[in-house]
Amino acid sequence: MLTAFTPARDFSSVQNSSRFACPAPPRPAEDIQKTLTGAGQLLYYMSLIVVGSMAYDAIETPFGKTNRIVGGAATYVAYAASNFVNPVKQISIVGYDFEKEEMDALVKRGVVLDGVEIVRDKKSFFWSGRYHLDMNTRDTLVTDLNVLVDFKPVVPESYQESEFLMLGNVNPQIQIDVIRQMKKRPKLIAMDTMNFWMETAMGDLEKLLKMVDVLMINDSEARQLSGQFSLVKAAREIMKMGPSYLVIKKGEHGALLFHGNQVFFAPALPLEEVFDPTGAGDTFAGGFMGHIAKTRDVSFENMKTAIIVGSAMASFCVEKFGPERLKEISKADIDERLGQFVELVNFDINLV
């Protein structure tokens, strides 16, 4: 439900236009679904392709330990995005050990797995890590790439025409390859990456950055990529490399969205405990792209809302191990959480 609501601009007061549900996104997804069921064609456009790992993790935090829990960037993105858009079209690779019930859980949420290769004689990617007391740093204990070594994604014919593409953190060469397989360039391409690729595949990364619209990285990665300590300067340098939108994730300190000379900030929800931060960044990306794909609105204004949605989804993710909490939550839970974000940053102001 949308309420159109545009108060007259009064130049005697400074406007904080965070407000009741306005302006309406140009073509809300629900309407399109309602009016075009049958033709069905638009479902292709609205759908989101997600590329990335599907894995198992063993995680140790100050609050506890889990020996084997489903994980991987594409898994978190899919769990978050599927609250907003259907279908989510997964491109990944798993081994013989990837449990059917995990696949089924995704399918039940409207995730299409045609692009997920199952390797019969290898195990799934496995990662194990231990978080420090402050939860901001972690030690990687085990990285068994397993099937990930062979990841050469093929974009299924049924995925073509999708308007939204989220490239999770994998080798930039793979990310480029997926973009090149798209017969029609998606309306919005977003990508994640990490310091490792800046150090080992900078040539490919530079090529890739010219092909995408949105780059999502954390603050230390932004500093490394740009050679600038100031995030404002870093953002300017990075946008020169290609992406016209840059999201800098600062974990418990929120996230910044840059576009041209504009900047927007979404806080992280102050939580009693961060139980397990694994996957929070990917969940953020899933909420972000889910909202964009749902609304089909790629304006800066709508991206502001998208990073609030991403932050809200991430705030659920960290409440339990792995994607456990993401599997539980309802749309009502998400609405309530979004309301908390509104309360968190809502203020009135007058001129001095």
Give residues in contact with its own copies (CB under 8 A). Answer: 1-3, 5, 7, 9-10, 12-23, 25, 83-84, 133-134, 229-233, 250, 253-254, 256, 262-267, 270-273, 301, 304-305, 308-309, 331, 334-335, 338-339, 341-352
- Shortest Å, Cβ 118 to its own copies: 32
What is the DSSP code (8-state) at residue 321? S
- Shortest Å, Cβ 92 to its own copies: 25
Nearer to its own copies, 225 or 231 (CB): 231
Nearer to its own copies, 3 or 137 (CB): 3
- Shortest Å, Cβ 302 to its own copies: 8
What is the DSSP code (8-state) at residue 253? G
Nearest to 17 by CA among 8, 30, 29: 8
Nearer to its own copies, 203 or 339 (CB): 339
If you write DSSP's letter for every residue of 119-188 in order, what string do you get? -TTSPPEEEEEEE-TTSS-EEEEEEE-GGGGG------GGGTT-SEEEE-SS-HHHHHHHHHH-SS--SE
- Shortest Å, Cβ 83 to its own copies: 6
Nearer to its own copies, 12 or 41 (CB): 12
Nearer to its own copies, 83 or 146 (CB): 83
- Shortest Å, Cβ 176 to its own copies: 31
**What is the enclosing helix (H) or strand (E) of 190?**
strand 188-192
Nearer to its own copies, 142 or 345 (CB): 345
CB count within 10 Å of CB 19 equals 14
Residue with token string 């599907």 = 54
Environment class of residue 250 by beta-carbon count within 10 Å: exposed (0-12), middle (13-18) or buried (19+)? Answer: middle
How far, rounded to the nearest angstrom, does the alpha carbon of residue 243 sit from its chain's CA centroid?
16
The pairing of strands 138-144 and 125-131 is antiparallel
Side chain identity at residue 86, one-letter code:
N
